[in-house]
Structure 1
Amino acid sequence: MATILVVDDEASIRRTLREILEYEDYAVDAASDGEEALDMVHDSTYDLVLLDVKMPKRDGMEVLESLSADRPDLPVVMISGHGTVETAVEATKLGAYDFIEKPPDLNRLLLTVRNALDRGELETENRRMRQTITETNTGDLTPIVGESAAITDIKETIERVAPTEARVLITGENGTGKELVARWVHRKSNRRDEPMVEVNCAAIPSELIESELFGHEKGAFTGATQQRIGKFEQAHGGTLFLDEIGDMSLSAQAKVLRVLQEHKIQRVGGSRTVEVDVRVIAATNKNLQQEIEDGDFREDLYHRIGVILIDVPPLRERRGDIPLITEHMADRLARRNGIPPKTLSDDALKALQRYEWRGNVRELHNVLERILILTDGDTVGADDVQRCMGPQTSSSGPTYDLIHTYDAFSDARDQFEKLFIEHKLDEHDWNVSQTAETIGIQRSHLYNKLNKYGIERDE
């Protein structure tokens, strides 16, 4: 999730931009003046800054100049209610990615944000590609650890399938290691010396998926200030990993299906077709057969991507692998954190094996890192495991129930928002004006929320 810093001296602008961006699943921080913004950039990591031009203390142009000197890799978009050509030119010369006027058009704002984030993502993608090639050449790729029948079958399938050109569909719960399986298929394939490009389909808004996958030409739409190469072209000769493909919109599915059939793409706003040679590996945590029945996934696309099916089991179904996984992780985590290696006792391993691990291997990794950092001595016991599991891994309570009741982020967010508003209304004895002021929204906005969620005071 990208993190954006909004800098504006008007509280209403900060609040509006926060609501828009958070609705698009961005993490948002806000600063009311230039000095506060510079302090926040110094102390935290941001992927993008939306910066007002006219502010007290240090105005936006001064802040931009400082950011360009200290963080030239950080994209900055200037926002002004008094925009002029001269100001826009000056901001561009100082390193601003783009300049938009207040009040910003919603589509223009979101496209500009997305394109600005792409600039930072491009360098990240290049680093990932270089790392993939390095791992391929040096063998420094995390192994698939385990001796259970399911893991043994997965390893054997990878050995047989990887050298072919067959498309692979990897299924399994979140945190089970689907991406690792995909990396090993690429690693053992004949395309190993070419890039493996990853796309998180769930993180791309439906209106931007075509540009993300196929690229666009300069001027193709508002905000398309330069040509952009899409993921299919970036992966030419190599592997394209479509993660969470079950969350892709139906319109995007149709476009991907066409590319898989014709092996050609056309950039948005372009007239020329470009041939692409990619091997597609897809992954999902959803039951695509059920999604097909519900009308949310195309059956013809399923058959295109699902030539080889690999299902990665949840950790609770292969508890016998936990000691081996833990031993492997503990060594790597100790080196990464610069702490002496520690041994887990048999009782500690049994305690880990008893846990349900709803977050699977990813959760085990996080818990084990916590245990190694917080435990004194050379040996980790069962008591240390229990102490470090803590409330974060509790299997009861309202937060746990909320997380595991809803699959869709929007549903969970709405339910949390409803509970939060009800709690705050109770705190203020259902005084709507005081509640709105406390939680930082307009009273009319709060009334809209009450109507949306059907919140009424019990008589």
Structure 2
Amino acid sequence: MSAAGLLLIEDTPSLQMVYESVLAAAGHRVRAEADARSGLAAFRTEPPSAVLLDLMLPDRNGLDLMAEMLAERPEVPVIVITANGSINKAVAAMRAGAHDFLVKPFDEARLLNAVENALAHALPGLDAANAAPATGQGQSGPLGAFIGSSEPMRAVYAKIRSVARSMATVFITGESGTGKELCAEAVHGVSNRATGPFVPLNCGAIPSELLESEVFGHLRGSFTGAIADKQGAAAAADGGTLFLDEVCELDLNLQTKLLRFLQTSTIQPVGATRARKVNVRIICATNRDPLDAVRRGRFREDLYYRLHVVPIHLPPLRDRGEDVIEIAEHVLARYAGEEGRAFRALSEEVKARFRRHAWPGNVRQMLNVLRNVVVLNDGAIVTAAMLPADLQPDGRPEAGGLVRAAPRHPALPLDDLLGRPLAEVERRVIEATLVLHGGSVPRAARVLDVSPSTLYRKITAWGRAED
């Protein structure tokens, strides 16, 4: 570590002695103080490489002390320490700029891992949240693959930049099709981990019995079908970012193991007898209400608080104003180039319809609409007659353009189902539900009260049977 050393501010003498001993044995130089006044004085006279700060101090609120420290030296990572019953204070500290948090009691491995991560990703003399983004865009401009400069999205970009240098877990919410994976990639892209791997994992698309292996890996012979060692997503993301999409779909048993992973930064592949340490930042996402999943007993409350540290909510497309047109024009140019078409602009009538449309499928729906237009039509200007049926008045195509009719919500009279094989009835009900919900598997799964992974498996099996 650097010569500056660590600053430990802990008012309990026995704990101060234990932490100092563990850190010193690992080769760290530590200066320990017992209250906020002496801790702040040490921070100013002997600037540390990182701070370990107990939030319960005898002479001052730990959050206020951290805020003053970060105002003076925002590049110094602060690891906050709190009691088990005060995890909400730790979450508040993370949102205020802390690098990581430790909940008492924690073990030696967790303490050393938090310190090593903080030191490895500190930016000397520079707050990464204020650093110029790698995309070369302005401080308030779009990040990564995002398009749009509306006020709601500028707030999203600002939050991404502010959390970039931290190890805080980011929890992304938003409707299906709003770009949650793009958001996760943007956080990774402007963080100190940008040169490391970004590993996405859709928890809803993997059968529950295989999820543990997908996340943590397995050894050959550990279960039927394990014909070779497999590296899990957590190990693949070592040094980078692990993105857990549809995290609320995780099996409760795996939620317990994920919580242990977050607390210890160690993984144990299926069939392994020893755990190994990895250095991974977690970003997760869901289109559900995570608190509702907690209330229903489908998501562990302690895991929710561990993950829901820095929430980022992505606004639906209908709330993004002129972003609708900006995205449409950008995508039109890209698709026209890919398909060898001459399109270069949207007509004013098309722009007006795009602004009025509710876009229940958000950006993903717009991509489908424009792909449909570009594939089935040609010309310099996209006209209203070229739009699919769901963007026509009363849902009917206008004359004069070659369009593909959008699927209607199919009626399923009972008489049509009676006398048919159960497998066919099941398939027709599932397909009708998918159409009703714009092709969204997670939404259809909620209506049918099954896991999205169940629907993904059935859809894949139907596709194989038809090949």
Same fold (TM over 0.5): yes
Partner of 2:377: 375
Partner of 2:181: 179
- Tell me the distance in 2 between the aligned counterparts of 1:393 and 1:147: 33
SS at match of 2:329: helix
- Tell me the distance in 1 between the aligned counterparts of 2:205 and 2:378: 40
Please tell me the residue identity of whatever aligns with 2:405. Answer: P
Deviation at 1:144, TM superposition (A): 1.4
Deviation at 1:372, TM superposition (A): 2.2
Partner of 2:323: 321
Partner of 1:205: 207
Deviation at 1:411, TM superposition (A): 5.6
Which structure has greater helix proportion?
A: 1
SS at match of 2:284: strand
What TM-score does the superposition give when structure 2 sets the normalisation length?
A: 0.56
In structure 2, the CA distance between the partners of 1:248 and 1:413, relative to structure 1 (3 Å rule), is closer
- Tell me the distance in 2 between the aligned counterparts of 1:393 and 1:154: 34
Partner of 2:282: 280
Asked if 1:407 is matched to 2:443, the reply is yes
Verify the 8 A CA contact 2:407 2:435 in the aligned structure 1: no
Question: Which ranges of structure 1 fall in alignment gaps of 5 or more residues?
Answer: 1-135, 415-439, 441-459
SS at match of 1:281: strand
- Tell me the distance in 1 between the aligned counterparts of 2:342 and 2:165: 40
Please tell me the residue identity of whatever aligns with 2:149. Answer: E
| Identity value in percent | 41
Please tell me the residue identity of whatever aligns with 2:266. Answer: K
Superimposed CA distance per residue, residues 94-135 of structure 1 (whole angstroms, 9 cap, x where no aligned partner): xxxxxxxxxxxxxxxxxxxxxxxxxxxxxxxxxxxxxxxxxx
Verify the 8 A CA contact 1:367 1:389 in the aligned structure 2: no
Please tell me the residue identity of whatever aligns with 2:176. Answer: N
Asked if 1:227 is matched to 2:241, the reply is no
Superimposed CA distance per residue, residues 237-258 of structure 1 (whole angstroms, 9 cap, x where no aligned partner): 0000000001111111111010
Verify the 8 A CA contact 2:343 2:378 in the aligned structure 1: no
Deviation at 1:402, TM superposition (A): 6.2
SS at match of 2:406: helix
Deviation at 1:389, TM superposition (A): 6.8
Deviation at 1:403, TM superposition (A): 2.5
Deviation at 1:266, TM superposition (A): 0.8
Superimposed CA distance per residue, residues 259-296 of structure 1 (whole angstroms, 9 cap, x where no aligned partner): 00000011111111110100000000000111111111
- Tell me the distance in 2 between the aligned counterparts of 1:401 and 1:238: 35
Superimposed CA distance per residue, residues 32-78 of structure 1 (whole angstroms, 9 cap, x where no aligned partner): xxxxxxxxxxxxxxxxxxxxxxxxxxxxxxxxxxxxxxxxxxxxxxx
- Tell me the distance in 2 between the aligned counterparts of 1:296 and 1:410: 13
- Tell me the distance in 2 between the aligned counterparts of 1:348 and 1:315: 16
In structure 2, the CA distance between the partners of 1:209 and 1:413, relative to structure 1 (3 Å rule), is closer
SS at match of 2:437: helix
Superimposed CA distance per residue, residues 218-253 of structure 1 (whole angstroms, 9 cap, x where no aligned partner): 121222121111111000000000000011111111
Partner of 1:391: 405
Larger CA deviation: 313-322 vs 257-266: 313-322
Aligned residues between the structures: 280
SS at match of 1:310: strand
2:335 to 327, 333, 336: 333
Superimposed CA distance per residue, residues 343-398 of structure 1 (whole angstroms, 9 cap, x where no aligned partner): 1011111112222211110010110111123233211122222447753266x554
Deviation at 1:321, TM superposition (A): 1.6
What is the CA RMSD across the aligned residues, in angstroms? 2.8
Question: Which ranges of structure 2 fall in alignment gaps of 5 or more residues?
Answer: 1-133, 412-431, 451-464
Residues 97-116 of structure 1 correspond to what in structure 2 (within 5 A)? none
Partner of 2:28: none
Partner of 1:306: 308
Verify the 8 A CA contact 2:199 2:237 in the aligned structure 1: yes
Partner of 1:263: 265
Superimposed CA distance per residue, residues 309-352 of structure 1 (whole angstroms, 9 cap, x where no aligned partner): 00111112224321111111111112222222421011111112
- Tell me the distance in 2 between the aligned counterparts of 1:371 and 1:273: 53
Partner of 2:362: 360
SS at match of 2:148: coil
Deviation at 1:408, TM superposition (A): 4.4
Verify the 8 A CA contact 1:169 1:310 in the aligned structure 2: yes
